[in-house]
Amino acid sequence: MGHFSLSPGSWVQRQDIALVGAKMRSMAAKHRRFFSMRFSLVTLIVFFVCAPLAHAGFGITPPYVNNQRLTRGTVFEQKITLVRSDPSEDLTAEITMNIPGIESWFSVDRGNTFILPKGTTQIPIIVRVQVPEDAEYKTHEGTIRVRTSSAAAGPQGSGVSIALGAQIDVDIEVVDKIYDFSVRKIRLSDLEEGRWKWGLFFPGKIRFLMTIENTGNTDYGPTGVRFEIYDADMETLLETTENTNTIESIPPFAIQEVLAELPTRLPAGRYKAKYTIQKGEEVAQQDVLDVSISTIGSVPGYEGYGFGGLSNADKLKVAGFVGIPLLIVLSLAVILARRRTSRPHVRW
């Protein structure tokens, strides 16, 4: 809905929203003739306000690209979601950057011009920051603007139309390498108690999952996990155990769930565990959680430890049972081979 003005205080509503080109000029000519009659020799400028659409809510989140921990050679990606509340038509989004000196570091996965399709309320874009290997250690600030306009060709109304845009603030700093992470979430998978087989005790497997955000700028992650397992009243320490697997490292700035596997020899029951997530020599997180160990066969899909989870004593047993005979066989083979090679050749 728009308006145009004939004279101050006299507004006429127009419904025709397709008034463009020649029609516009024809109408202007009619006005010129009308005003020529009333105001001879006076040129009148008329600003039509004839817009095709009402604006709907538009937004971006987050409205920034911030990272104070970039280092040389790293890539940082910030997902920014463009949103609008009434996607009744295609819109063209244009991205312009004003980040003095480092614009070449920045790129957008969808390019600098793309369509916000009709019917879609959210369009994520990835702003990628590629820090050169020779980047100076310093702070950079700037802005990225996202401007939207109708994707239809030509003016969609008359007068001074309004386009909407949103600003993404850029604030980055290039620094030396930082190894750091934060723990966003932890969880435990259900587990069963250990079991005896072939005279060996295969312990239960605690699967401790940590959602880690690498807040440094180098591949990194938890360096170790330790569980101190107490009775349900947290009065008696029953077992201390540490991860047996290598915990996966996480790329810089990524959020990822990683797994620590810990053996437990405790029987079925409920326990409290004080867990410690190590960040090198530091403690990244320490807290208490409930540990429920179920009876054998009660957890669907559960897979316990294999030989890797055996105690050192049991490993020695296995080594003795398998390794020694193997060693004997190998030794015999070597001796026989040596004898054959050292036997004097009979020459006829």
| Window 156-215: residues binding other proteins (CB under 8 A) | 157-167, 169, 171, 183-188, 190, 211
Which one of 59-67, 194-202, 245-253, 319-327 is the stretch in contact with other proteins (CB under 8 A)?
59-67
Question: By C-beta, is 237 or 332 nearer to other proteins?
Answer: 237
Q: In the set 16, 18, 23, 66, which binds other proteins (CB under 8 A)?
A: 66
CB–CB of 225/49 below 8 Å?
no
Q: Is 23 in the site for other proteins (CB under 8 A)?
A: no
Residue window 224-243: x/- pattern of binding to other proteins, with contact defined by CB under 8 A: --------xx----------
Q: In the set 16, 18, 23, 61, which binds other proteins (CB under 8 A)?
A: 61
Which 302-341 positions form the footprint of other proteins (CB under 8 A)? none
Q: Name which of 154, 152, 130 is nearest 67 in CA terms.
A: 130
CB–CB of 115/36 below 8 Å?
no
Long-range (24+ apart) CB contacts under 8 A made by 114-120 are: 115/90, 115/91, 115/151, 116/82, 116/84, 116/87, 116/90, 116/91, 116/92, 116/148, 117/87, 117/90, 118/87, 118/88, 118/89, 118/90, 119/87, 120/87
Question: By C-beta, is 42 or 346 nearer to other proteins?
Answer: 42
CA–chain centroid gap for 116, Å, is 22
- Cβ within 8 Å of residue 319, ≥6 positions away: none
Distance CA(108)–CA(95), nearest Å, equals 9
Which 244-263 positions form the footprint of other proteins (CB under 8 A)? 255
Q: In the set 275, 279, 305, 310, which binds other proteins (CB under 8 A)?
A: 275
Provide, rounded to whole angstroms, the least separation between the CB of residue 105 and other proteins: 20
Residue window 87-106: x/- pattern of binding to other proteins, with contact defined by CB under 8 A: ---------x----------
Question: By C-beta, is 9 or 306 nearer to other proteins?
Answer: 9
Distance CA(13)–CA(308), nearest Å, equals 82
Provide, rounded to whole angstroms, the least separation between the CB of residue 321 and other proteins: 33
